[in-house]
Structure 1
């Protein structure tokens, strides 16, 4: 059963093997417990196409994504994201356009968002958030 949703920063940290704590937590999870939003896949592919090693980076992403469930963005995800965006704009503390979609998806599916971009996501009401890059 899926319990966790990775944002782009967590996936990049995992790909770059930047945190032993993150790698250990991922290895402790059962198959299917971690999801990656299709939005994160988009961000990763965008980064790959902007890079000097396009084919290498696209293949790295493809190999990584086959080990996780990639979640499409559905109607309830969009409703939650719209609510989050409206509340944060009203409070004068909006977050990035892709981050609001990822946060909305995590809320809609009652998943814990894994991110090392805590300062951005901690503003989102009712979002369960963890940073696995710290012990």
Structure 2
């Protein structure tokens, strides 16, 4: 039987780190929780930029290490370019990091869980609504 995998955006990762019960319940339905590498960068930046940098960094790194990391490789770059061009053509720009997150998820064929509605402009992305 294939394992059920889901990728999560930074806003969902923060909910997990804050112990949001509803989000934890949703994620408990999956065998593998994956983080696009861009999400890892956003989390580490947030920890380092916080008032409790040392304790947050340790906690965030433990969380990151418990997840599967979806890395950027050449096929992801091609996917990124296609997504960005389509967004430009349709007049729906979104933040650069989110284009990378979508490209990573598409390249790895993993659905994305996010609260950011602008991901819906990427019609080829398998986006899950929390």
Q: So what's the TM-score if we normalise by structure 1?
A: 0.88
Contact 1:10–1:115 under 8 Å retained in 2: yes
* Correspondence for 2:18 among 16, 19, 28: 16
> How much does 1:28 deviate?
2.8
Q: 1:78-104: per-residue Cα shift (whole Å, max 9, x none)?
A: 111111011101211111000000001
Query: How many residues of Structure 1 are paired with residues of Structure 2 in the alignment?
Result: 128
Structure 1, unaligned stretches of length 5 or more? none
Deviation at 1:10, TM superposition (A): 1.0
The answer as to 2:112 corresponding to 1:122 is no
* Deviation of 1:5 (Å): 1.1
The alignment's C-alpha RMSD in Å is 1.3
**TM-fit CA distance, 1:3:** 2.5
Corresponding residue SS for 2:124: coil
Task: Provide the rounded CA distance (Å) in 1 between the counterparts of 2:10 and 2:99.
Answer: 12
Matched, 1:95 2:94: yes
The question of whether the paired residues in 1 share the 8 Å contact of 2:43 and 2:60 is answered with yes
The reply on whether 1:7 has 2:6 as its aligned counterpart is no
Match of 1:36 in 2: 35
Tell me, in whole angstroms, the C-alpha distance in 2 between the residues paired with 1:67 and 1:45. 14
Q: TM-score, normalised by structure 2?
A: 0.91
1:56 aligns with 2:55: yes
Extract structure 1 runs of 4+ deviating beyond 4 A: none
Are positions 1:27 and 2:28 aligned together?
yes
**Distance of 1:65 and 1:26 partners within structure 2:** 15
**Would the aligned equivalents of 1:4 and 1:35 in 2 still touch at CA under 8 Å?**
yes
Specify every segment of 5 or more residues in structure 2 that has no aligned partner in the other structure, as ranges.
none
